[in-house]
Structure 1
Amino acid sequence: MSKAFKLLLCAVTSLLLAQGASAQSCEPSKVAQKYPSLAGKTIKIGVDPESPPYAFRDSKDFNKIIGADADMEAMGYGSLEDFITHFWEGDFLKKDANNILSMMRSWQYADISANSLYQGDFDRALGSITARAIVMPGRTDLYFPPEDSEYEVSKMPNALLRPIESVWGHFAGGPAANPVDVKFIDDAVREILAM
């Protein structure tokens, strides 16, 4: 991992820790309190409990290798390090840090019912969305899990839930070079335009 990316990661983590104490739903500063056996330990998270590479055989087509490493290779990246350096850092390091902070703030405080019309009635606010919609969260998104979207869609009268089955987590559908996710999204757009 490059030094620039480590610095960016440390800065964002510090900001999240500083703000996390006041945010009800995001309290990374309390992880050690909630999970004392994990305090001071490095936690490695992957697609499966095995070590890298994070690739495995497709259950529908045993001859096909899928997973984050296979997807990165198909997009022209030789490794996770190569992907982070050329794609992730190539995108985020040229952004204004204030834009990223604003985006994080909107994640923490956005509430469509926090106004005089709905007066905090989130279900009523969702029910007022009558446009046809296909809501497509990433199946492995840890920022906005599909369970949240499932609840929201259940309150929206003309919405369908269609999770993106992807190993890319929050980034599902993001890399335009990922043809499987792009096709999934394009198909849904065609479907809703045809309704």
Structure 2
Amino acid sequence: MNSADFKNGEYGDVPPKKGLQAFFRVYSTWALSPEWFRQECWKDVGCKTLQEYLNQNWDGGGEANDLLALLWTWQHGDVTRYFPEDAGDLAKTLGRVKARCLIVPVSTDQYFPPEDSEQEVKALKDGILRVVPSVWGHLAGGGNGTKEDTEFMVREIGEFLKLR
């Protein structure tokens, strides 16, 4: 929105590259963990430098209005709104869930830290928590981490589905 080339969302065929690049550069520091940067994990995906990794993976992709819709969802996505009688009490609302739930955060996810998931699982009647041990942060949860990250999730989901 603050990008000079955003044009109030009416940019036509020429996307607001400056704003998108700025957004994704900031996003990359949250999507990946500080440990990922310390361990120079960009080398694990064939990049020689951090700059090369950022250029290849975080330079202005996406659609600006889609990103604004995503941000709006993050700001307003509140399951407690469906139960006004719970007065915003997330634990109370989660306590209404009857389904068995598997919650699989990543140990270094800065958007959805496992500590939050621990509290949510406590509120669920039948919740199971399995934390993916990974330095790939938020990306590991979407299958963009290591082979081991994905194998961990597949294994845990498989075990969960075997439960009755």
Q: TM-score, normalised by structure 2?
A: 0.70
CA–CA separation in structure 1 for the residues paired with 2:122 and 2:22? 38
- Write out per-residue CA displacement over residues 2-37 of structure 1, whole angstroms, 9 at most, x where no aligned residue: xx98643535799xxxxxxxxxxxxxxxxxxxxxxx
Q: Is the 8 A contact 1:118 1:124 kept in 2?
A: no
Structure 1 counterpart of 2:55, one-letter code: T
Residues 5 and 151 (structure 1), Cα distance of their counterparts in 2 relative to 1, 3 Å cut: farther
CA–CA separation in structure 1 for the residues paired with 2:145 and 2:118? 28
CA–CA separation in structure 2 for the residues paired with 1:84 and 1:149? 29
- Write out per-residue CA displacement over residues 32-56 of structure 1, whole angstroms, 9 at most, x where no aligned residue: xxxxxxxxxxxxx8329xxx7x22x
Residues 12 and 85 (structure 1), Cα distance of their counterparts in 2 relative to 1, 3 Å cut: closer
Q: Is the 8 A contact 1:138 1:165 kept in 2?
A: yes
1:112 CA displacement:
0.6
- Write out per-residue CA displacement over residues 124-172 of structure 1, whole angstroms, 9 at most, x where no aligned residue: 2101222222211121122221111110110011111111111122222
* Superposition RMSD in Å: 3.0
- Write out per-residue CA displacement over residues 71-129 of structure 1, whole angstroms, 9 at most, x where no aligned residue: x333333332222222233xx61x21111111112112211111346443322210122
Secondary structure of the residue that 2:141 maps to in structure 1? Answer: coil
CA–CA separation in structure 2 for the residues paired with 1:116 and 1:101? 26
Q: Is the 8 A contact 2:114 2:131 kept in 1?
A: yes
- Paired residue for 2:125? 157
Residues 102 and 193 (structure 1), Cα distance of their counterparts in 2 relative to 1, 3 Å cut: same
What percent identity do the matched residue pairs reach? 31
- Paired residue for 1:129? 97
CA–CA separation in structure 2 for the residues paired with 1:79 and 1:5? 23
Structure 1: runs of 5 or more not aligned: 15-44, 56-68
Secondary structure of the residue that 1:113 maps to in structure 2? Answer: helix
Report how many residues are paired.
141
Q: Map residues 131-146 of structure 1 onto 2, 5 A cutoff.
A: 131-146=99-114
CA–CA separation in structure 1 for the residues paired with 2:145 and 2:92? 38
CA–CA separation in structure 1 for the residues paired with 2:79 and 2:135? 29
Q: Which protein has the bigger helix share?
A: 2
Residues 177 and 5 (structure 1), Cα distance of their counterparts in 2 relative to 1, 3 Å cut: farther
Q: TM-score, normalised by structure 1?
A: 0.60
Secondary structure of the residue that 2:142 maps to in structure 1? Answer: coil
CA–CA separation in structure 2 for the residues paired with 1:84 and 1:175? 18
